[in-house]
Amino acid sequence: MIKKTLISFVLTGLSLLAFSQPKEFYSEVGLIIWVVNNAPAVAEGWKNIGFKSIEDHGQIKLNKLTYKSEVAETEIHLYTAYLGGARILWIQPIRGNSAFSEFLKKNGNGVFALLHDVPMQVDLVEEVERLNDLGIKVLQDGQVIAQNQPLRMTYMQTGNKGKYVIGFMNGSTSYFDDIEISNDLNMKFNQFAFAIKESSVDKVSAYWERLGFPAMQVTHGETWGKQYYEEPADFDMKLGWYRYGNIVYEWCIPLKAPTVYEDHIKKYGEGFQHLGFSVPDMDKAIQYFKDRGLKISMSGGWGEKGKPGSGRFAYVDTEGIGGETIELLWSYNE
């Protein structure tokens, strides 16, 4: 009995050790799944602020779809977009019950999931089974047909405790083959960001650690030049960080209002809040968006102003064109 228990303990330890670091495919996000109630209007809105790499693929049916283990028939209006390096699927539910329609009903427009590209089908199945053993079930599974080639997308039920849905993709991404990569300001995508309450930090970090990801690293730095909708403000926040491969996840934790993070939590609840983009010229970028009728919702700087390691941030209120904010980031270079 003791021998069997020891063997079981050793095997369990080896299993945990094998997943102490995320698998390689977690080092990049293949697609951002963004659900909206009016895809043509959202696409036009982003074109109007300088992102031209957007394509309309019309209304399509999802094949072999299961939602919460039930077979479902679903039709969507699909757009693809390349936003400064971020590959987006804008999905407007048209007909049928799905995770997309339920998300839209509950949360309104916004980013629903981040999909990791798993080249081998067997690896996708293996990872789904591993998560299932940890109590994480499949939320939705199905296919879209990209240029006559199937693209499987599998979503896991991580949204409630993890604050966003992770998923996996396997197959063709030829929707993006002919997209021209360009935007007016040479903005480059560099981070995914979420808004959570301070009371949620330990629970969210522990949840992702249990799935094999590193602990969230929380910082509380000084900021200067703080403004909220272009008026002086005395806000404060902590930032939680998780980095793996080419991905930076930022967890924005409001401490003192007013902040766009607190605004988001009050309006939508905790979850995905903004997309971060680096810009070569912050003043030019800010003026560009203001000239197009958009407001700078929050801004400031970090580090010793004008010294290496310092920089500036500015949030552009783009919620009206899809439900998410964008953050402009500029770092000082000698």
In the predicted model, is pLDDT for residue 17 greater than 50?
no
Tell whether 224 and 265 lie within a shared domain. Answer: yes
Integer CA distances (angstroms), 117 to 124, 177, 182, 315, in order: 9, 16, 23, 29
Determine the length of the chain: 334
**160 and 244 housed in the same domain:** no
DSSP state string for 297-321: EEEEEESSTTSTT-EEEEEE--GGG
pLDDT band at 255 (very low <50, low <70, confident <90, very high): very high
> How confident is the model at residue 109, as a pLDDT?
96
87 and 157 inside one domain: yes
Question: Does residue 274 share a domain with residue 128?
Answer: no
> What pLDDT, on a 0 to 100 scale, did the predictor assign at position 93?
97
Are 125 and 66 in a shared domain? yes
34 and 156 fall within a common domain: yes
In which element (H, E) is residue 209 found?
helix 201-210
11 located within any domain? no
Using alpha carbons, list the distances in angstroms from residue 1 to 6, 8, 94, 316: 9, 11, 58, 63
- CATH code of the domain containing 67: 3.10.180.10
CB 165 within 8 A of CB 112: yes
Of 143, 176, 209, which one is at a domain's C-terminal end?
176
On whether residue 15 sits in a domain, the answer given is: no
Q: What are phi and psi of 252, to 5 degrees?
A: -90, 125
| Per-residue pLDDT tens over the stretch 267-314 | 999 999 999 999 999 999 999 999 999 999 999 999 999 899 999 999
For residue 80, list its beta bridge partners.
Answer: 55, 89
Segment 81-112, tens digit of pLDDT: 999 989 999 999 999 999 999 999 999 999 99
pLDDT at 31 over 90: yes
User: Do 277 and 164 fall within a single domain?
Assistant: no
As a whole number of Å, the end-to-end CA separation of the chain is: 67
Q: Could you list the residue range(s) of the whole structural domain that residue 252 is in?
A: 188-331
Average pLDDT, the chain: 90
Report pLDDT for 10. 35
**How many domains does the chain fold into?**
2
Q: Which residues of 43-65 are buried (b: 16+ CB within 10 A; e: fewer)?
A: bebbeebbbebbeebeeebbeeb
Closest CA to 93 of 53, 61, 67: 61
Co-location of 92 and 216 in the same domain: no
Confidence check: pLDDT of 315 > 90: yes
Asked if the model's pLDDT at residue 221 lies above 50, the reply is: yes
For CA atoms 33, 110, 58, 62, give the dihedral sign.
positive
The predicted pLDDT at position 179 comes to: 67
Q: Judge if 217 and 104 occupy the same domain.
A: no
Q: Given a cut of 80, is residue 11 above it in pLDDT?
A: no
Tokens 């988001």 found at: 264
Q: Is residue 6 scored above 60 in pLDDT?
A: no
- 158 and 214 together in one domain: no
Beta strands 311-316 and 296-302, pairing class: antiparallel
Report CA dihedral (21, 24, 26, 31) to the nearest 10 degrees.
180
Q: Clarify whether residues 105 and 153 are in a common domain.
A: yes
Instruction: State whether 197 and 130 are in the same domain.
Output: no
pTM summary value: 0.91
